[in-house]
Amino acid sequence: MPSTSTDTSVHSEGPRMTAPLLEVEALTIGIRRRGRDDVRIVEDLSFAIQPGERFGIVGESGSGKSLTLRAIAGLLPKGVEVLSGTIRYRGDDLGGMSAAARRKLMGPQIAMVFQEPMTALNPVVRVGEQIAEGPRRHLGLSRAAAADLAVEMMRRTGIPDPARRARAYPHELSGGLRQRIMIAMALSCSPRLLLCDEPTTALDVTVQHQVLQLVEELCDETGTALAFVTHDLAVVNQTCTELAVMYSGHRVEAGPVKDVFRDPRHPYTRGLLESAPDFDDPDRVLVPIPGFPPNVAQRPDGCPFAPRCRFAIEACTTAMPAQEDVGPGRTAACIRTHEIGSAAPGEPVEVLA
Amino acid sequence: MSASTNATDGATATHPAHPATNLQNAPVLRAGDVTKRYQLPVTVIDRMRRSARTALTALDGVDLELRRGEVLALVGESGSGKSTLAKILVGSVTATTGTLDADGERVPLHRDKDASRRIQMVFQDPYSSLNPRISVGSMLRELLVLHHIVPRAEVRAESIRILNLVGLEEDALDAYPSQFSGGQRQRIAIARAIAVRPDVLIADEPVSALDVSVQATILELFARLQRELGLSILFVAHNLAVVQHLSQRVAVMYLGRIVEVADTDELFRNPRHPYTRALIDSIPRMGAESVTARLALQGDPPSPFDIPTGCRFHPRCPYAVDACRTTDPALTPVPLVLGTRPGGPSTVPTSAPGTDTTAAQATAPQAPHVAACIRSAELGDVDPLHEPAIEADDPALTRPDVLLDPERVVETDLSEVAPAAPAASAAHHQEEPSA
């Protein structure tokens, strides 16, 4: 789809000069503990999403990627809170807003698609009514107009026979259809920013394909920006243009997807790319990353990736590396990032004790 | 390395049953026309509604061979019956009808201790498949003692040897599953499976629950077990990139049936069932920039309560013709293209015994590439990886427009196409070893 992708770049080129749609700055999310240090699950995280941009956040389980998305949506689990930092939406600080003001944003401005549609949908309300709720509340539509819009949204998300399906309950629909309902619901008020938390992980590969294509088309159509959290590098490659890689609550690398994939500048990004089987290159040797991520409550000093990093040196374990500039629009949090580009893949691994 | 060789010897020594000739020919495990139906209880409401939804057909006539020493991948969407088949093979679920043969001998309905030992399973979720209250050491000890794998005095040494084999240290013996990460737990689950020296390992989505960086280590472990212990592995998976990396052969399932079986390379280069092709086209790619596929499926898989007539894939199939709605196609041989491709990669992707696989094919009675589609012969000429069409002698194979244009597909006369397939298959097959 070359024509649509150029559309997106046109969308994002203009406003880029002005202000980003979403700006996350030095965000720290964690759990306060009396008498002890706070558990900092996400630490000092910064990124910005431009209007119409498709932004991917990649990381393994426990890297804090989903929590970041939930913090933006104001849906952090009980006990977990934003400890410091700001989240600005169109220049307004979300943290400083009243709950009511924030609720007004959710729907017409920011919408979210969750991983498991069965738990995110209300099981005792017909799906048509669930989709119509947002437009009625936020756009002031009448019951009938909102119901029509719901059916129209379902039709646009590719649900066959939408008028009949609108009267179904979530349990009567398949996983793929439920996820489409979630997307129809999220897009019903034409939000400016769509937050997607692993929307296709629970789906089969042919259905995943349908859903990703749908998200891409609808975002192109309405100029909606996308914040897409996933662990699947290939999915990011196909849906996003910009990317942030998270490891143990830190942003370790960021930049345009194509550039990062072609020339990763953080050892962790590189490890991820080398360990994932690539369908187009089946003969490549997979290089696993040794060890496993640190417990966020006892994160080691220095770079959190140092214990698993084959490039680690003494200095890595003393201080958290700063974000180094490694190219146009690219950063990497590694003190040896300028040497990494030249190292051969699968080079002998040295693990610090 | 030496330790693992011992394990192979030991495993063979415990079964003097199979003669050497049998090792070459008989598949290590064969399922013949296996069917599984789940009968649902009929409720009062069902009777009032006269509802007919009382039987779920999970498997509908599955034939599958696992060859000695190979990794055979079983792929398909959720609900296709791949896990049910895995459970039937391992004996935890009983088939409604059909037969199972191990090494050419019928597996009894109720397996004795030795029959159970020979086929072992690794489950998807290492968090729920290990007993949290039993330490790794006692888990292994129980198995080794129960199956008399080694004399009691050597149980501890043998446990340590097994742990080392899966990449764990001796200190894991006294630990409980909760003390390990997901990848390590999966190693423990694998240790449990191979401790009793099975012939066959059935792995049901063993890496799906793991992070990408850990996945690679477990895949490498499976490849090593195959290489060093000569294990035959049935690898159930939905991630085709993983399958392509690990397996020598692939069987594709759709709604309780196997619709295509071929060598991994052959299947991915030359899929002859529209569903296989759609699966391949749906894989998220590291090389592509956008979500596009030449063959994208519409709709969801149909319900196993209500299987479509004719070919069960026809409601979603872009190539379906009238005959597909009435004819239920059987698995039939299709022409091999891989062997004739000049300069094309013809080796098996992993370092596994590629030559052995070829030898097995030559002796196996079954044709190496089978697909259950009446139009499979026509599907051959368009490469799924978007490469130029492969040259073929059969005039029916050089019509790419037929496949891409749904209008014309309907008009195609099948009678001139179908009979060509077996002959072409034989010709290509003979060329293959020389290529």
Q: What is the pLDDT of residue B296?
A: 67
Asked if B212's CB is within 8 angstroms of A233's CB, the reply is yes
Q: How many domains does chain B have?
A: 1
Q: What is the pLDDT of residue A291?
A: 82
Rounded to a whole number of angstroms, the distance from the CA of A157 to the nearest CA of chain B is 12
Q: Averaged over B303-322, what is the pLDDT?
A: 86
Size (chain A), residues:
353
Q: What is the pLDDT of residue A177?
A: 86
What percent of chain A stands above pLDDT 90?
Answer: 52
B386 in contact with A at a CB cutoff of 8 Å? Answer: no
User: Is the model's pTM score more than 0.80?
Assistant: no
Q: Could you tell me what percentage of chain B is helix, strand and coil, using 3-state DSSP and rounding each to the nearest 5?
A: 40, 15, 40
Asked if B282's CB is within 8 angstroms of A205's CB, the reply is yes
Average pLDDT, chain A: 86
B387 in contact with A at a CB cutoff of 8 Å? Answer: no
Asked if B345's CB is within 8 angstroms of A205's CB, the reply is no
Which position has the higher pLDDT, B298 or A32?
A32
Quote the CA–CA distance of B377 and B374 in Å, as a whole number: 8
Which position has the higher pLDDT, A94 or A280?
A94
Q: Which residue of A has its CA nearest to B220?
A: A286
Q: Averaged over B284-297, what is the pLDDT?
A: 68
Residues in Cβ contact with A6 at an 8 Å cutoff, skipping those fewer than 6 apart: none
Asked if B244's CB is within 8 angstroms of A279's CB, the reply is yes
Quote the CA–CA distance of A341 and A326 in Å, as a whole number: 10
Asked if A234's CB is within 8 angstroms of B283's CB, the reply is yes
Confirm whether B410 is domain-assigned.
Answer: no
ipTM of this complex: 0.77
Testing the interface with A: which of B71, B218, B300 to mutate, by most A Cβ within 10 A?
Answer: B300
Asked if B244's CB is within 8 angstroms of A280's CB, the reply is no
Q: Which residue of B has its CA nearest to A294?
A: B181
Q: What is the pLDDT of residue B203?
A: 95
pLDDT tier, B402 (very low <50, low <70, confident <90, very high otherwise):
very low
> B29 and B89 in contact (C-beta within 8 Å)?
yes
Among the ranges given (A11-20, A276-285, B297-306), the one the predictor scored with the smallest mean pLDDT: A11-20
B73 in contact with A at a CB cutoff of 8 Å? Answer: no
Q: Which amino acid is at B269?
A: R
Q: What is the pLDDT of residue B423?
A: 37
Which position has the higher pLDDT, A298 or A303?
A303
Q: pLDDT for A23-61, tens place per residue? A: 999 999 999 988 888 899 999 999 999 999 999 999 988
Q: Which residue of A has its CA nearest to B285?
A: A234
Q: Averaged over A245-266, what is the pLDDT?
A: 93
Average pLDDT, chain B: 76
Asked if B299's CB is within 8 angstroms of A205's CB, the reply is no
Which position has the higher pLDDT, B419 or A181?
A181
Confirm whether B49 is domain-assigned.
Answer: yes
* CB pairs A-B closer than 8 Å: 140
DSSP A204: -
Instruction: Give the bridge partners for B72, in sequence order.
Output: B234, B249
B304 in contact with A at a CB cutoff of 8 Å? Answer: no
Quote the CA–CA distance of B252 and B264 in Å, as a whole number: 11
Q: Is the pLDDT of residue A108 over 80?
A: yes
Q: What is the pLDDT of residue B336?
A: 66
Asked if B238's CB is within 8 angstroms of A205's CB, the reply is yes
Confirm whether B150 is domain-assigned.
Answer: yes
Asked if A283's CB is within 8 angstroms of B296's CB, the reply is no
Quote the CA–CA distance of A218 and A195 in Å, as a whole number: 14
Confirm whether B196 is domain-assigned.
Answer: yes
Closest CA to B366 of B92, B32, B14: B32
Rounded to a whole number of angstroms, the distance from the CA of A283 to the nearest CA of chain B is 5
Residues in Cβ contact with A98 at an 8 Å cutoff, skipping those fewer than 6 apart: none
Q: What domain range is B89 assigned to? A: 3-252
Q: pLDDT for A135-150, tens place per residue? A: 999 999 999 999 999 9
Confirm whether B20 is domain-assigned.
Answer: yes
Q: pLDDT for B133-183, tens place per residue? A: 999 999 999 999 999 999 999 999 999 999 999 999 999 999 999 998 888
Q: What are the φ/ψ torsions at residue A259 (nearest 5 degrees)?
A: -65, -45
Residue B244, domain CATH? 3.40.50.300
Q: Is the pLDDT of residue A202 over 50?
A: yes
Q: Is the pLDDT of residue B405 over 80?
A: no
Q: Averaged over A180-207, what is the pLDDT?
A: 88
Asked if A238's CB is within 8 angstroms of B300's CB, the reply is no
pLDDT tier, B110 (very low <50, low <70, confident <90, very high otherwise):
confident
Rounded to a whole number of angstroms, the distance from the CA of B302 to the nearest CA of chain A is 10
Testing the interface with A: which of B53, B213, B239, B253 to mutate, by most A Cβ within 10 A?
Answer: B213
Which position has the higher pLDDT, A261 or B386?
A261
Q: pLDDT for A205-233, tens place per residue? A: 888 888 888 888 888 888 999 999 998 88
pLDDT tier, A18 (very low <50, low <70, confident <90, very high otherwise):
low
Residues of B in contact with A60 (CB under 8 A): 211-213
Among the ranges given (B255-269, B329-343, B414-428), the one the predictor scored with the smallest mean pLDDT: B414-428
- Strand, coil or helix: what is B335? coil
Q: pLDDT for B344-401, tens place per residue? A: 333 333 333 333 444 333 333 344 789 999 888 877 655 444 433 333 333 433 334 3
Residues of B in contact with A205 (CB under 8 A): 77, 238-240, 279, 282-283
Question: Which residues of B, range 13-32, sit inside 8 Å of A by Cβ?
Answer: none
What percent of chain B stands above pLDDT 90?
Answer: 41
Burial of A188 (0-12, 13-18, 19+ CB in 10 A): buried
Rounded to a whole number of angstroms, the distance from the CA of B184 to the nearest CA of chain A is 10
Q: What is the pLDDT of residue A238?
A: 87
Testing the interface with A: which of B184, B254, B286, B383 to mutate, by most A Cβ within 10 A?
Answer: B286
Q: pLDDT for A161-180, tens place per residue? A: 889 999 999 988 888 888 88
| A238: nearest CB among B219, B288, B299 | B288
Q: Averaged over B30-56, what is the pLDDT?
A: 79
Confirm whether B162 is domain-assigned.
Answer: yes
pLDDT tier, B415 (very low <50, low <70, confident <90, very high otherwise):
very low
Residues in Cβ contact with A340 at an 8 Å cutoff, skipping those fewer than 6 apart: A264, A265, A266, A267, A270, A311, A334
Residues of A in contact with B183 (CB under 8 A): 292
Residues of A in contact with B278 (CB under 8 A): 206
Concatenated DSSP letters of B281-308: HHS--SS-SS---SSPPPSPPPPTTSPP
Confirm whether B275 is domain-assigned.
Answer: no
Q: Averaged over A298-313, what is the pLDDT?
A: 89
Burial of B356 (0-12, 13-18, 19+ CB in 10 A): middle
Residue at token pair 């069902």: B46
Confirm whether B65 is domain-assigned.
Answer: yes
B241 in contact with A at a CB cutoff of 8 Å? Answer: yes
Testing the interface with B: which of A201, A204, A263, A272 to mutate, by most B Cβ within 10 A?
Answer: A204
Q: Is the pLDDT of residue B332 over 50?
A: yes
Residues of A in contact with B292 (CB under 8 A): 1, 213
Q: What is the pLDDT of residue A172?
A: 87
